[in-house]
Amino acid sequence: MINWIEGGITAPKGFRASGVHAGVKSSNSDKKDLALIVSDCEAAAAAVYTRNRVKAAPIYVTMAHLEDGAATAVVVNSGNANACAPGGAEHASAMCASAAKATGLKASDFIVASTGVIGQELNIAAIEAAMPACAAALSATGSDAAATAIMTTDTKKKELAVEFTVGGKTCRIGAISKGSGMIHPNMGTTLSFVTTDCAITPALLHEALTACVNVSLNRVSIDGDTSTNDMCCVLANGMAENALIDWKNEDYDAFCAALRQLLIEVARSIAADGEGASRLITSHVVGARSEETAERLAKEIICSSLVKAAMFGADANWGRVLCAMGYSKAPFRPEFVDVSFRSCAGEIAVCAAGAGLPFDEALAKQILSQDEIIIEVNVHEGEHACTCWGCDLTYDYVKINGDYRT
Amino acid sequence: MINWIEGGITAPKGFRASGVHAGVKSSNSDKKDLALIVSDCEAAAAAVYTRNRVKAAPIYVTMAHLEDGAATAVVVNSGNANACAPGGAEHASAMCASAAKATGLKASDFIVASTGVIGQELNIAAIEAAMPACAAALSATGSDAAATAIMTTDTKKKELAVEFTVGGKTCRIGAISKGSGMIHPNMGTTLSFVTTDCAITPALLHEALTACVNVSLNRVSIDGDTSTNDMCCVLANGMAENALIDWKNEDYDAFCAALRQLLIEVARSIAADGEGASRLITSHVVGARSEETAERLAKEIICSSLVKAAMFGADANWGRVLCAMGYSKAPFRPEFVDVSFRSCAGEIAVCAAGAGLPFDEALAKQILSQDEIIIEVNVHEGEHACTCWGCDLTYDYVKINGDYRT
């Protein structure tokens, strides 16, 4: 039994958060761009990172700090990715040192992250100057401020929390996340920070995180570009006082189920708020000979620029769906494939056994004009399925990215 | 010595071509949509095909017809891809039969191709009705009409020819081609039809075509979508009366050099006229440890939606170049990488040894505002290089593909 609750990353017991304006984004605006998340006690910690060969400096610093499987806090800025940037490693370390000084923790207690433009030097002086205020603002209702402070081109905050039961104890997991460009499967997509008061060992926390990210964040694509800064980390401080989860029993299953459901909603919220997006596109492939096949097919569909542009135009151009499946490198028989489009306005079959069906164009247009579209594909070869999430390709994506730096 | 000449596919001796309006595209317009190319005698023939698992019906028919390494003619329509379409195989065969009847050739003498929307039944009746007129229009100056008839969203005809010498005999190679969406490396990109009067065996013709396509058409991407209909074929009728090229001597080298140069220009013309494109983007990677590494890096750069959108905005956001290289799966050391941008307006270095350089933004804007931009990357690890071609991502790409079918 999993319940959705308010409070984001401060919903779990013993977590405080804050977000303030430091001036990294711009000294002319008052946009929040620096956030802290602090646990009241040391927490088991795990993270998954971008598989991009070009990794931002904070990724390496965080990897080093998490070697012991423990962390207490997170410091993160938006407005500058601190990737390929002069002084990157020094600045990432300085962020931790500054946060440690302001909070009374150790620098090595911190997970550090940055997001924003690549290749420009981080304004570390602005961050250091704002850190005391950020620490002073830490509060048990600070999730909202932190979620706001990590936004870049996001139009909506991503902040979620769930409540569930482990061994008779109520546990909570909260998450904040940011999109919305340079987002593509096959990594720990984007920056996502997860907190929980559930007691679990670092090893199982890492295993749970990896498994859940693989079926949620790793199944999102906005634009096919895998960022240099992606990270999803989780802090588990044990303050729910459940019996420590230290093997794969039913408590572990309950934790995984909650984490998976939370991260799937995070994934959907990132996809729905993709840069310039006007619709959330879900591709759902069933009947595949393996889960890997289903995943390759479903991902390629949501990654196709042509499918994405057709969805923007509410155009039932299903041939592009088959074309994308065809270059996915996954095995399937084109002559077995059924395709239909579905939304709150109904469902319409457009292709059966690999060939076009006559269909009502007006109804198709109506179905495809909704905020969430599901592309249903049955390859009729087996029992495996996969769901992936993306968005349409719009004029605004081009506009946003034609001049992102200014 | 290779000279550029006029005449396209009818520049080589003994080739005639034509293009007429059949009504496949639309019965309301008079756009040409059916073309024939005929050699005066049987020709050695070779083709490379899309690697998309979903292949259009004409691909399979052509594969069968080319099993003997010989062909005499090509029949092709635009406006409908005859892929995933009811009656696809029958209609592709009927196109050959109809063309054979109208020209006095055999159906198996024909290479057949289609391009356009996927999944709708081909209007074979319109093609059959127009075929006699198309055959009657065959002419030694018909390249222009054929090049026009194969266009879909292309804004410019692709028609080129070169002249060179083999064993004292003047030979010619001509080509017509079409873009401009659903175009991505790793295949025989798009439809391209090549004619030559050079005498060469089918086996060496195939080897030359494959090698030349790999460094030309296979290094183009418009949108990352590998089409279901891609084909590049060549007919060599031997009418230049050179000594038959039947081993890899200097004559073979001369033929390859001419074919390569021709196909590189075809590739560039496809990239420059990519759907919605405002600029040709060339990525040139040098200093790589292998050609494969250089190619992976160069391709990933031109495929990145974010790089493409930045180029549209004339924004020197080189961090996206490094980011794309990073997820290319090619080995390289980010900390060695230099990046610069070049065009007819000058050159500007923006990244050295993996970190940003201070640069003149106004000059960068001026350089990036030209019709052709070269992204120069040196990875400082070896002696290998690769050039790939793409285009920027613009509002018009979204517009064209938001409602392609109507």
Over residues B203-261, the pLDDT tens digits come to 999 999 989 888 888 888 877 777 777 788 889 999 999 999 999 999 999 999 999 99
Q: How far is CA B116 from CA A119, B24, B56, B79, in A?
A: 42, 10, 11, 4
Q: Which residue has the higher pLDDT, A298 or A396?
A: A298
Question: B44 with B242: CB under 8 angstroms?
Answer: no
CA distance B356 to chain A (A): 5
Distance CA B118, CA A203 (A): 49
Q: Give the mean pLDDT of chain B.
A: 90
Complex-level ipTM: 0.80
**Which is the catalytic residue, given A10, A115, A152, A189?**
A189
pLDDT at residue A30, as a whole number = 86
A6 touches chain B (CB under 8 A): no
Q: Tens of pLDDT along A51-83?
A: 788 888 999 999 999 999 999 999 999 999 999
Q: What is the mean pLDDT of residues A315-324?
A: 91
Written in H, E and C, the secondary structure of chain B is CCEECCCHHHCCCCEEEEEECCCCCCCCCCCCCEEEEEEEEEEEEEEEECCCCCCCHHHHHHHHHCCCCEEEEEEEEEEECCCCCCCHHHHHHHHHHHHHHHHCCCHHHEEEEEEEECCCCCCHHHHHHHHHHHHHCCECCCHHHHHHHCCCCCCCCEEEEEEEEECCEEEEEEEEEECCCCCCCCCCCCEEEEEECCCECHHHHHHHHHHHHHCCHHHECCCCCCCCCCEEEEEECCCCCCCCECCCCHHHHHHHHHHHHHHHHHHHHHHHCCCCCCCEEEEEEEEECCHHHHHHHHHHHHHCHHHHHHHHCCCCCCHHHHHHHHCCCCCCCHHHCEEEEEECCEEEEEEECCEECCCCHHHHHHHHCCCEEEEEEECCCCCEEEEEEEECCCHHHHHHHHCCCC
pLDDT at residue A154, as a whole number = 84
Band the pLDDT of B187: cuts 50, 70, 90: very low
A358 touches chain B (CB under 8 A): no
Contact A315 B119 (CB under 8 A): no
Q: Which residue has the higher pLDDT, A102 or B269?
A: A102
Whether the predicted pLDDT of B5 surpasses 90:
yes
Band the pLDDT of B404: cuts 50, 70, 90: low
Which of B60, B225, B351, B391 should we substitute to test contact with A (largest number of A Cβ atoms within 10 Å)?
B225
- For chain A, the domains span 3-272, 280-402
Q: What pTM was computed for the model?
A: 0.81
**Which residue among B223, B319, B350 sits closest to A83, beta carbon to beta carbon?**
B319
Which of A55, A60, A80, A84 should we substitute to test contact with B (largest number of B Cβ atoms within 10 Å)?
A84
Q: Tens of pLDDT along A185-233?
A: 554 457 888 899 999 999 999 999 989 888 888 888 877 777 777 788 8
CA distance A157 to chain B (A): 23
Whether the predicted pLDDT of A22 surpasses 60:
yes
Q: Can you tell me whether residue A79 is helix, strand or coil?
A: strand
pLDDT at residue B27, as a whole number = 64
Q: Tens of pLDDT along B87-138?
A: 999 999 999 999 999 999 999 999 999 998 888 899 999 999 999 999 999 9
Which DSSP category does A245 fall into? B
Q: Tens of pLDDT along A81-127?
A: 999 889 999 999 999 999 999 999 999 999 999 998 888 899 999 99
pLDDT at residue A134, as a whole number = 98
Going across the sheet that includes B355-356, the strands are B355-356, B346-352, B338-343, B372-378, B280-288, B384-391
Question: B191 with B115: CB under 8 angstroms?
Answer: yes
CA angle A145, A159, A154 (to 5 degrees): 80
A403 touches chain B (CB under 8 A): yes
The pair of three-digit structure tokens given for residue B379, joined into one six-digit string = 């990875």
A89 touches chain B (CB under 8 A): no
Whether B387 is catalytic is no
Q: Tens of pLDDT along A167-194?
A: 899 999 999 988 877 666 554 457 888 8
pLDDT at residue A213, as a whole number = 87
Q: How far is CA B316 from CA B14, B220, B227, in A?
A: 50, 22, 31
User: What count of other Cβ atoms lies within 10 Å of the Cβ of residue A26?
Assistant: 11
Q: Which of residues 32-61 of A touch B (CB under 8 A)?
A: 51-55
Band the pLDDT of B42: cuts 50, 70, 90: very high
How far is C-alpha B275 from the chain's CA centre? 14
For A262-276, A293-307, A360-374, B115-129, which range has the lowest pLDDT when averaged over its residues?
A262-276
CATH of A3-272, one of 3.60.70.12, 3.40.720.10, 3.90.380.10, 3.90.550.10: 3.60.70.12
Q: What is the mean pLDDT of residues B72-98?
A: 94
Q: Tens of pLDDT along B149-180?
A: 999 888 888 899 999 999 899 999 999 988 77
pLDDT at residue A344, as a whole number = 94
Contact B334 A54 (CB under 8 A): yes
pLDDT at residue B192, as a whole number = 82
In CATH, which superfamily holds the domain spanning B280-402?
Answer: ArgJ beta chain, C-terminal domain (3.10.20.340)
